[in-house]
Homo-oligomer: A and B are copies of this chain.
Amino acid sequence: MLEKISQKKLKKTDVIDQLKAMREELITLANRAKSSKIPVIITIDGWAASGKGSQIAKLIKYMDPRFYNVESIRKPNAVEARKPWLHRYWQRLPKQGEFLILDGSWYRDTVNALAFGEIDKDEYKKRISDINTFERQLTDDGYLIVKLFLHISESEQRDRLDKLEASEITRWRVTDNDRLNNKNYDKFLKRYDKIFSRTNTEFAPWNIIPANDNLTAQFSIMTAVNEAVKGACDAKEKGERFLQKPQFPTTDYKPGEFKLVKTKKLAKIDMNKSLTDEEYGRYLEKYQSRLFALQNICYQRKIPVIIAYEGWDAGGKGGNIKRVASALDPRGYEVKPIASPEPSELARHYLWRFWTRIENDGHFTIFDRTWYGRVMVEPIEGFTSKQRADMAYREINEFERQLTDWGAIVIKFWINIDKDEQYRRFKERENTPAKQWKITDEDWRNREKWDEYEKAVDRMVELTSTDFAPWTIVEGNDKKYARIKALKTICRRIEERLFDSKKDD
């Protein structure tokens, strides 16, 4: 793509009025994006010394600074390095109506990581696929992503670096990597070209900006940004999906397919499993101490463990989680209870609040209710349209795939009880003063929708039991049995991994 860009030079007198008008327009557009609740991400990548910083300054000069945020993407810091690689971008997601402007992005991050030997070719390919998934998920959710690359020629770059180095004030800005970028210009050119063509999707196409001349670059950036924001506002106001006009033919993107494992419908589960007190005591000790030892190994090998608990109301999630947690070194896990989303969470992609809750590698993150709310309670209670909820099966598989690619062991429990057992427990809660806080009118209301929920659970289990993150249905009528099954499953899943990675070694 890059070779097709001509480094034209617009005449100042030709564009100065237009530029002024475009700036005014951007102010209006930003207000429209705010009232239309469109979150906007503008990524600005480019050659070293292509003028990213000053172009950003010009772009935002007239915008209301309360509604945008500019962030520089550097090498991941020590904290970021302990999370999945896209975590730091998820974390920075703007709210609806806000602009996030990135100086460098997941692109620079990825190209540099390969160039400087931090990742290998396989990891590089995986990242490209992660990027397409990430951008698709966001645009599916109404985000506008405008991707800009400032392109300068090899000689222009050399001249600029020389000039920067010649002055005492600016010398510090030229890094070794900048020089390498210029020295290996042709190699980088090929790499950029390749990554652009692979990520030039119809939902997030590239804008290559000729940047040898600053004014021309500014004009091209303003044009691209305004067109995109305007298009997104127009479309949203008409209730349509917006696609940007691509500068180059887009790549034929297809989302990844997932291998699903065979599952059982809830109605087919044998609900009579139970343990005696004696068996329970014996197994509890056995699996708790085994889990404790396994946690130690995970900690040392920096393997993250993510445990997702879902289940019927009064299914016994709390007590089950407690038996898992009390086996663990408390400094190495955190339990995340998931309640209704807060305003700042509702204003972002629904996966945002789960991405941002993932603990560091080597740690356990235990979710008490999870991202699966999107395909159960949300559509059933009408918080999310059925159509939007249907998109979530794929999004969730992708999310969990990214977690397992990061190295996580993802374990998902559905704690199952039958309708009679739930009734018995609701009644018991009502009749036990210390437990009354646990039972609300909402629980009774949800119970009336049992069949609808059961259908949703069956569908969820069927569509999201991937080979890398399968569901485990836990027979929960007997709490003792359920606790041991959960503990045992966790141990087994960790042991499988440890065993497998030994084979890899």
Contacts and interface: CB of A to CB of B under 8 A. Distances in A.
Residue from A61, A103, A325 whose CB has the most chain B CB atoms within 10 Å: A325
A62 interface: yes
B66 A329 contact: no
B437 A331 contact: no
Interface residues of A, number: 40
A35 B437 contact: yes
Interface in A322-346: 322, 325-326, 329-331, 333-335, 337, 342-344
A56 B326 CA distance: 11
Nearest to A61: B326
Contacts of A69: 334-335
Given A331-B70, A344-B342, A65 B103 contact: no
Interface string A75-88: 00111000000000
A434 interface: yes
Contacts of A101: 330
Contacts of A325: 65
A228 interface: no
A326 B53 contact: no
Interface string A341-376: 011100000000000000000000010100000000
B330 A66 contact: no
Nearest to A35: B437
A53 B343 contact: no
A71 interface: yes
Tell me how many chains of this kind the complex includes.
2
A331 B53 contact: yes
Contacts of A103: 331
Given A35-B437, A78-B78, A368 B66 contact: yes
A278 interface: no
Interface in A17-63: 28, 31, 35, 53, 56-57, 60-62
Interface of A: 28, 31, 35, 53, 56-57, 60-62, 64-66, 69-72, 77-79, 101, 103, 318, 321-322, 325-326, 329-331, 333-335, 337, 342-344, 366, 368, 434, 437
27 contacts: A31-B434, A31-B437, A53-B331, A56-B331, A60-B326, A60-B330, A62-B326, A64-B322, A65-B321, A65-B325, A65-B326, A65-B333, A65-B366, A66-B318, A66-B335, A66-B337, A69-B334, A69-B335, A70-B331, A71-B331, A72-B331, A77-B79, A78-B78, A78-B79, A101-B330, A342-B342, A342-B343
